[in-house]
């Protein structure tokens, strides 16, 4: 078996990124005929047409779509190996990072992260954007640099993840609420009026599933999209909010919090990023800052 021409990886990467023989030829400074011959070699090597005619343009085959991320990462890794060792001067770094964060993350960790980043790299700016779903597209298309949240099944398998903290759901009511003055049992908890938090507007969630074996059911009075809204309502009414403990610490000031009187699994909050940024020194530094901030708050909140 002959050794494949690894130079074809660069050609394939550009072809799949551009979706056009002419544009790929321009990027690689080749003639259109030379690029067409390279595409023919790639088709022969892979046993797949890769790009096929659709109207006046070309569209990738399923095999090409499967290869696109892998080939791009291979080329980036090869370039990193051949690139001279870099150093990162944080004081001279000028860059804006976009972070897509889960509900409550900025309110509880944002200030410390901004302070740490500003002290080490004053030219770096953080842009926080709302996370309405678990779709990985913003990480893939580079509109988001880093994301936080619970890793779900919809997260792209190519994404890199690292755990930041463990969290659990707790109950929260206003000061003076009946549940703040005596022992809380599963039945007393379930009997109160509840605020259900659901980005999709659902009236059931993990807490309701946990109550099922106890033959109990919450009375859902209202449904909101976020934990901060739930806490604002609980502060002003007799309703009960059930929220993540660490994600809402700053939002629960001057409220009564209590452990749920039944078993609920804890969950892991992680950061997620695309492989293309894994070796980026500035991005690696930012990930370290985020890990340190979450670890420090964990230490400070320990009894």
Q: Domains in the chain, start-ordered, CATH in brackets?
A: 7-82 (1.10.10.10), 90-167+268-301 (3.40.190.10), 169-265 (3.40.190.10)
> Each residue of 50-91: pLDDT tens digit?
888 887 788 888 898 888 888 888 888 887 777 665 689 999
Q: Supply the pLDDT for residue 230.
A: 96
Task: Please tell me the pTM assigned to this model.
Answer: 0.68
Higher local confidence (pLDDT), 229 or 6: 229
Per-residue pLDDT band at 302 (split at 50, 70, 90) = very low
pLDDT at 94 (0 to 100): 96
CB-based contact 266:167 (threshold 8 Å): yes
User: What's the CA gap between 125 and 117, in Å, rounded?
Assistant: 8
* Calpha distance 196→281 (Å, rounded): 41
* 295 closest CA partner among 101, 161, 145, 113: 113
User: Each residue of 277-298: pLDDT tens digit?
Assistant: 998 999 999 999 999 999 887 5
Both tokens of 15, joined, read 């072809």
Model confidence over 140-186: pLDDT tens digits? 888 999 999 988 766 667 799 999 999 999 999 999 999 998 899 99
Q: What is the mean pLDDT of residues 255-272?
A: 95
SS3 156: coil
Tokens matching residue 78: 């090869």
* Dihedral angle over CA of 44, 80, 70, 46, nearest 10: 10
Return the structure tokens found at 256: 């009564």
Can you state the angle between helices 32-46 and 21-28, rounded to 10 degrees? 110
User: Would you state the structure tokens that stand for residue 120, as one six-digit string?
Assistant: 């080490």
Per-residue pLDDT of 111-132, as tens digits, reads 999 999 999 999 999 999 988 8
């Amino acid at each position: 078996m002959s050794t494949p021409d690894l130079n074809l990886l660069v050609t394939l990467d550009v072809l799949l990124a551009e979706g056009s023989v002419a544009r790929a030829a321009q990027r690689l400074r080749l003639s259109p005929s030379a690029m067409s011959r390279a595409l023919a070699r790639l088709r022969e090597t892979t046993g797949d047409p890769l790009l096929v005619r659709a109207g006046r343009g070309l569209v990738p085959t399923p095999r090409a779509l499967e290869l696109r991320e892998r080939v791009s990462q291979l080329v980036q890794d090869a370039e990193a190996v051949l690139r001279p060792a870099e150093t990162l001067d944080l004081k001279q770094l000028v860059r804006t990072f976009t972070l897509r964060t889960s509900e409550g993350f900025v309110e509880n960790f944002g200030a410390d992260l901004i302070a740490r980043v500003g002290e080490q790299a004053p030219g770096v700016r953080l842009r926080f954007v709302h996370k309405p779903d678990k779709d990985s597209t913003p990480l893939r298309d580079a509109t988001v640099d880093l994301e936080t949240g619970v890793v779900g099944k919809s997260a792209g398998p190519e994404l890199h993840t690292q755990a930041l903290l463990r969290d659990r759901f707790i109950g929260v009511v206003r000061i003076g609420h009946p549940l703040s003055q005596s022992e809380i049992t599963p039945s007393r908890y379930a009997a109160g009026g509840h605020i259900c938090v659901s980005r999709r507007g659902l009236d059931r969630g993990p807490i309701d599933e946990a109550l099922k074996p106890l033959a109990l059911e919450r009375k859902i009075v209202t449904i909101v999209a976020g934990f901060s809204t739930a806490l604002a309502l609980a502060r002003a009414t007799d309703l009960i909010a059930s929220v993540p403990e660490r994600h809402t610490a700053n939002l629960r000031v001057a409220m009564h919090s209590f452990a749920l009187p039944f078993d609920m699994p804890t969950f892991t909050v992680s950061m997620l990023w695309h492989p293309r940024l894994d070796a980026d020194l500035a991005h690696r530094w930012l990930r370290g800052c985020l890990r340190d901030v979450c670890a420090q708050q964990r230490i400070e909140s320990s009894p």
